[in-house]
Amino acid sequence: MARGADPEDAELFAAERVPALRTAVAELSWLLERGYAETSALELVGNRHRLRKRQRDAVRRCSCSDAARSDRERRRVAPARLRGRSLLIDGFNVLITLEAGIAGAPIFRGRDGVLRDIASVHGRWRRVDSTAAALDGIAAFVRAHGLAGVTWLLDRPVANSGRLAALIESHPVAASVAWRAELPFDPDAALRASTELVATADTTVLDGCGDWVDVVGDVIARVAPRAWVLELGQQAH
pLDDT tens sequence across 6-63: 899 999 999 999 999 999 999 999 999 999 999 999 999 999 999 999 999 999 999 9
Fill in the DSSP letter of residue 159. Answer: B
Please say if the pLDDT value at position 137 is more than 90. yes
**Stretch 177-198: mean pLDDT:** 96
Residues 103, 2 contacting (CB under 8 angstroms) = yes
Q: Which CA distances in Å does 118 have to 4, 35, 53, 232?
A: 11, 25, 10, 13
Task: Give the residue ranges of DSSP H helices in 63-130.
Answer: 66-75, 91-103
* CB burial readout 84-100, b (16+ within 10 A) else e: ebebbbbbbbbbbbbbb
Residues 225, 100 contacting (CB under 8 angstroms) = no
pLDDT at 2: 64
Task: Give the residue ranges of DSSP H helices in 85-209.
Answer: 91-103, 131-144, 161-169, 187-193, 203-206
Please say if the pLDDT value at position 165 is more than 90. yes
Q: Residue 173 is which amino acid?
A: V
Q: Residue 17 is which amino acid?
A: R
pLDDT at 186: 95
Phi, psi of 229 (to 5 degrees): -105, 125
pLDDT at 234: 78
Residues in the chain: 237
Report d(CA 29, CA 34) in Å as an integer: 9
**Stretch 90-103: mean pLDDT:** 96
Task: Quickly state the pLDDT bin for 136 (edges 50, 70, 90).
Answer: very high
Task: Quickly state the pLDDT bin for 216 (edges 50, 70, 90).
Answer: very high
